[in-house]
Amino acid sequence: MESKCVHCKTMKILTIFGTRPEAIKLAPLIKELQKQKAVTSRVCVTAQHREMLDQVLQLFKIKCDWDLDLMRKDQSLFDITARALQSLERVLKEERPDIVLVQGDTTTAFVASLAAYYLKIKIGHVEAGLRTADKFNPFPEEINRRLADVLADLWFAPTEKAKENLLQEGFPPGRIFVTGNTVIDALFLILRQESRAKNQLVLSDFGLSTDDSRLILVTGHRRESFGKGFEQICYGLKKIAERNNDIQIVYPVHLNPHVRDPVHRILGDVANIHLIEPLDYARFAFLMSQCYLILTDSGGIQEEAPALGKPVLVMRDKTERPEAIEAGTAKLVGTNSERIFLESQKLLDDHIKYKQMARRANPFGDGRAAKRIVGILLGEDEAKE
């Protein structure tokens, strides 16, 4: 176990995460912590997701001090929860950090919070306060984030609305901080860092270029849509493609077989739909910057796309990011195939309606969330900006 220097008064911070979205959102924060002489920054990954997590670690050049490598084929929520809790006991007892940082709404975020609580270690929850008020939608994320909030000691809310959710639930105002969302930090960092020429290869791989202005980017992976929901999504995409010969749909298909099976079965032979393997974050960010429209059930993309001026149709019935809906940068369309088609067609046909969505201000931050969080942790003036 690494001991702290009493005279230097360093703070030991252990950041724990397990999935690609967590890694993307925590990468700017980890980078910022590493710059601080007053901080000993340690990183633990559960590898709740393996391949997609590794892509982000390599992209941001993040070195893990602990890699629990917990992912198993066809793992259930029971499996990952039990293995993570037992494995994290050893990590936390050896590290004994001053505070554990978790992010968002994954099983890793909840379990790491619980493990830290059992050992009476302080917890900081990044992206705290998001709510749909439906414990099964999204599943299991809505409960994961609520439990992480209950266990936390510091809450880093991305927006004023998230802060208001926490206040309504009785959390102490003095320990809730509105910081913006670190995903905007990550997006700007990567778009600055990566070569445009290199990323254009993503388009050329399936016969497209930046001249293809009518590119629709699709992602989908939510558990609550497995089965009929994903079939409906696919039929909606198929109708969009068949009615619009001048557009191209690019769909990086999630590795989960509950997603891959219906997607390939229904969309595999549609000429202007390109089903590709999941992309690393740099290339995915480039695709976002180049596309015309995004259809997704992802939470993070609802935050990222407005920063790039891209309208988002959210293929879910509820969202924990109502700021995007209220700002007009995103619209809920559910998983009904006809509604997905009709709402997409409106934006393809009506240039004024499209511009109204594309030009709205992004409510999720300015790219300085990580600096604010570090300032709060260290008690510096940056936290007050």
Query: Could you say which DSSP state residue 127 is in?
Result: T
Candidates 141, 142, 303, 343; catalytic one: 141
Domains located in the chain, CATH noted: 11-181+366-384 (3.40.50.2000), 197-358 (3.40.50.2000)
pLDDT in tens, 81-96: 999 999 999 999 999 9
| Rounded Cα distance, 290 and 275, in Å | 17
pLDDT in tens, 290-324: 899 999 998 889 999 999 999 999 999 989 999 99
Q: What is the largest CA-CA distance in the chain?
A: 69
Residue 279, amino acid: L
**Known active-site residue 69:** no
Beta bridge partners of 126: 103, 156
Candidates 22, 32, 95, 105; catalytic one: 105
**Known active-site residue 317:** no
**Known active-site residue 49:** no
pLDDT computed for residue 52 by the predictor: 77
Query: Could you say which DSSP state residue 283 is in?
Result: H
Tokens of 13: 């911070």
Q: Which residue has the higher pLDDT, 381 or 209?
A: 209
pLDDT range class, residue 7, cuts 50, 70, 90:
very low
| Rounded Cα distance, 287 and 10, in Å | 41
* CB of 248 closer than 8 Å to CB of 216: yes
pLDDT computed for residue 222 by the predictor: 83
- Strands of the sheet containing 66-67, edge to edge, are 66-67, 39-45, 11-17, 99-103, 122-126, 154-157, 176-178
Angle formed by the axes of helices 20-34 and 300-307, nearest 10°? 60
**Known active-site residue 141:** yes
Distances (CA, A) of 122 to 12, 36, 85, 113, 186: 11, 20, 17, 9, 25
Candidates 127, 142, 185, 297; catalytic one: 127
Residue 99, amino acid: I
* CB of 286 closer than 8 Å to CB of 302: no
* CB of 206 closer than 8 Å to CB of 245: no
Tokens of 233: 């999504």
Residue 371, amino acid: K
Distances (CA, A) of 217 to 89, 292, 297: 41, 8, 12
Reported pTM: 0.84
Residues whose CB falls within 8 Å of the CB of residue 22, separated by 6 or more in sequence, listed in order: 103, 104, 106, 108, 109
Q: Phi and psi for 322 in degrees, rounded to 5?
A: -65, -20
Candidates 223, 258, 260, 339; catalytic one: 223
**Known active-site residue 221:** yes
pLDDT in tens, 154-203: 999 999 999 999 999 999 999 999 999 999 999 999 988 866 656 666 67
Candidates 146, 254, 283, 372; catalytic one: 254
**Known active-site residue 169:** no
